[in-house]
Amino acid sequence: MAPLTNGQRNALETIERVASCFSLVGTVFIFFTFIYSHDFRRPVNRLIFYASWGNTLCNIGTLISESGIKAGQDSHLCQFQAFLIQMFVPADAFWNLAMAFNVYLTLFKKYNAQQLKALEWRYHALCYGIPCICAIILLFVETHAKGKIYGPAVLWCWISAEWDYLRIALLYGPAWIAILAAFTIYVSSGAEIFRKRRELREFSINPNTTYDSWIKTTQIAVTSEVNNSLPLRGIQESFAPLPSDMEKASLKKTKGFEQYSVSVASPPHSTRPSMPASMLSAQARKNRAAMEANRAAWGYTKVAILFFVSMLVTWVPSSANRLYALANPGQTNIALAYIAGIVLSLMGFWNSIIYIVTSRVACKALIIDIFSCGGNQQRANTVQETRSSCISRRSQRDSWGDDIERLTERPKSASDSHSSTAT
């Protein structure tokens, strides 16, 4: 490995530490808001919250920067830094895969928020357990020919140059497998979402459509809803906050009700009866619910793109640096080293950006809450009303990350039963 000049090492050290500070600020924001406010506790945000613990510990390693190398390979500081890097850098890619897998379960397996939460212990075992075991084993491996596995690695202490192939086998290889798996899920999910969007358009009623064709459209669309629920209801439900205790108490009142169904058929005679008002009302409610799910799905698409872009920004430059080192043994590309040091140190920052994007309404409500402190009771009540109004308006038009309204199920009433059969 060609040695870096003192100036280059100082510049690299400064870059790594400044980027690490940005990440730490982002993860502190995640910790504070997730613990402080229930509005932030969506399934997707919980996974970011769990990943942020690993980002924080990884940033401790990146903050050490060149100090580990200067302390020497056998020093406790160098070995500790290498352990942190080896354990928590690939863990971030695994958490991104877990988020993508949640999308798969929501779209294709119809998992709800509670079912996703039940899987989280398995995600911890995968994302933190496996890298931890690997990192501990490497900590104790040493040979007479190559020495310890952990040692200087340009940016910081990590797997030394003598064990260079392990960098691909134990970090970049697994990380790229996770990235490609997440990419496959996002592509298939995107195709499914746009297919569902086309289905949702069928819920809209053309004012010029005749009653016979309206009956036919209702038969197709509503039967699909009964079998599979609303096409994109799972996204809206699974990525909304879990209900608070008060909300759970109110939900118990409607727990026993099932979704209603509409089964219609064309009348045997050619006379076109007038459309019952109750059917118009039911269809209007369905159209409104469908449009809400449609907006939620489109919002999901944008945020899923953010997840994938953050992975590419993190891993493409660092992988290019690693491939350059493999192709040119003993040489260091200073530009690639700088870029790799920046993007790897910013992993927590990227996650905080995604967290904020998926929680825009909750962030705005938090700001209102903070500024309401210290005022009189009347002002606090006014702010609370403004906060509730803000959430209500934005939940109707923003992304799935901000949507706290659920597509509620309605009991089958007598009027519905009467209007659901055409004679």
Q: What is the dihedral of CA 18, 45, 61, 150, to 10 degrees?
A: -140
Distance CA 93, CA 395 (A): 30
Looking at 1.10.540.10, 1.20.1070.10, 3.40.50.2300, 1.10.15.40, the CATH number of the domain 6-180+318-374 comes to 1.20.1070.10
Q: Are strands 150-152 and 147-148 parallel, antiparallel or unpaired?
A: unpaired
pLDDT higher than 50, residue 326: yes
Residues 407-421 have pLDDT tens digits of 333 334 444 444 444
Spatial CB neighbours of 420, under 8 Å, sequence gap ≥ 6: 260, 261, 262, 263, 264
- What are 194's two structure tokens? 């746009």
User: Mean pLDDT across the stretch 199-205?
Assistant: 60
pTM of the model: 0.71
Cβ-based neighbour number of residue 130 at 10 Å: 15
pLDDT digits (tens, 9 = 90+) for 121-152: 999 999 999 999 999 999 999 999 889 999 99
Which two tokens mark 67? 């100090």
Please determine, for residue 368, whether its predicted confidence score (pLDDT) is greater than 80.
yes
Mean pLDDT (whole number) for 43-52: 89
Q: What share of the chain is helix, strand, coil (3-state, %, to 5)?
A: 75, 0, 25
Phi and psi at 156, nearest 5°, equal -170, 180
Q: pLDDT band for position 218 (50/70/90)? A: very low
At residue 93, does pLDDT exceed 80?
yes
103-121: average pLDDT: 87
What amino acid is encoded at 183 in this protein?
F
Q: Where is pLDDT greater, at 124 or 310?
A: 124
> Which of 88, 114, 91, 90 lies closest to 102 in space, CA to CA?
114
Q: What is the pLDDT of residues 336-358, one digit of tens each?
A: 999 999 999 999 999 999 999 88
Residue 275, phi then psi, degrees to nearest 5: -75, 125
Residue range 168-182: mean pLDDT, rounded: 93
How many C-alpha atoms does 7 have within 13 Å on its Cβ side?
Answer: 0
**What confidence tier does 51 reach under pLDDT thresholds 50, 70, 90?**
very high
Mean pLDDT of 38-46: 85
pLDDT at 264: 44
Closest Cα partner for 361 from 306, 307, 305, 399? 399
Q: How many CB atoms lie within 10 A of CB 125?
A: 11
